[in-house]
Amino acid sequence: MDSRKTPSHAETALAPPAPDELPRVRRPRGLVTEIVESLTSSIREGQLQPGAKLPTEAEIMARFDVSRTVVRESLSRLQASGLVETRHGIGTFVLPPQEPGNFKISAEDFATVADVISVLELRISLETEAAGLAAQRRTPDNLRAMESALRAFQDSIHHDSDAVPPDFQFHMEVARSTGNRHFADLMTYLGTMIIPRTRVNTALSAPEGRLGYLQRVHSEHESIYNAIRDQDADAARAAMRTHLSNSRERLRRGQNAHTIQPASPQIDATDPASTIA
């Protein structure tokens, strides 16, 4: 009789996975996010060292039970995050950690509603002060540009549009009105992805419905504009903070109902013809 003990079911379940195994637990945020998170964790925890070769596409497909398309999109996201590089015909390899101080916000940083909220918190500090400076320094040309963005927003919401391009344009014009190019440069770098509707279906899930939601956003923009026009810096800061804080709270309240849009390439914020899904 074989005296070796057969592991119980519980012991098997608690046994640590083999070093070369990747988790196959399904999470609701999607297959691509699952793979990206798993490989990112392996890289950052040192299981995959710089220079190490990632499993082949076929191996990842088998381990996660996904299609080649899903694997390739996952690897593309890892490349965009600067974690790996693909050498055609050879494989995908882990890159050394990026130097500290290389600030970057990419599409991969908008993977969850919590991520969108984090960027909104950054915007609150940045754009609140921008609005105050804009009130002190705006020119007649700046005011006309903001008025144009407001009219375009109002026109868009009556034509079954999400009004994202004029929304971003209004915030960009506020940044330009500071007279400090760094505000506008940073807004251009962040791009239209900073508008939550490009990543989260806020308008669709709003209790007041799409039109009511967008009308409220438009009203908040008008409050910001009026304070800047009147050169009331304190009121401009308060109106901007209220607008962005309202966006944050709307996201928090509906966090479970919101869905993240598929990641999309950065859109050139300086192109007035750009459109966002």
Residue 194: give its domain's CATH number. 1.20.120.530
Which of 94, 127, 146 is where one domain is finished?
Answer: 94
Range with lowest mean pLDDT among 25-34, 194-203, 207-216, 242-251? 194-203
Share of the chain above pLDDT 90, in %: 37
Looking at the structure, tell me whether residues 124 and 81 fall in a common domain: no
Range with lowest mean pLDDT among 98-112, 124-138, 160-174, 224-238? 98-112
Confidence of residue 218 (pLDDT cuts 50, 70, 90): very high
Looking at the structure, tell me whether residues 241 and 195 fall in a common domain: yes
Q: How many domains does the chain have?
A: 2
* Domain boundaries, position 38: 19-94
Provide the token pair at 256. 């479970």
For residues 188 and 270, the answer to whether their CB atoms sit within 8 Å is: yes
In a domain, 276, yes or no: no
Q: What is the Cβ-side half-sphere exposure of residue 271, based on CA atoms within 13 angstroms? A: 9
Looking at the structure, tell me whether residues 114 and 89 fall in a common domain: no
Q: What is the value of pTM for the model shown?
A: 0.56
69 compared with 276, residue with greater pLDDT: 69
At residue 117, does pLDDT exceed 60?
yes
In a domain, 99, yes or no: no
At residue 159, does pLDDT exceed 70?
yes
Residue with tokens 């999109």: 73
What is the per-residue pLDDT for 31? 86
At residue 72, does pLDDT exceed 50?
yes
Looking at the structure, tell me whether residues 45 and 118 fall in a common domain: no
Looking at the structure, tell me whether residues 148 and 248 fall in a common domain: yes
Looking at the structure, tell me whether residues 48 and 127 fall in a common domain: no
What is the per-residue pLDDT for 12? 40
Looking at the structure, tell me whether residues 244 and 115 fall in a common domain: yes
For residues 81 and 121, the answer to whether their CB atoms sit within 8 Å is: no
Confidence of residue 196 (pLDDT cuts 50, 70, 90): low
Looking at the structure, tell me whether residues 144 and 242 fall in a common domain: yes
Looking at the structure, tell me whether residues 66 and 130 fall in a common domain: no
What are the angstrom distances between the C-alpha of 253 and each of 117, 206, 214, 242? 12, 10, 17, 16
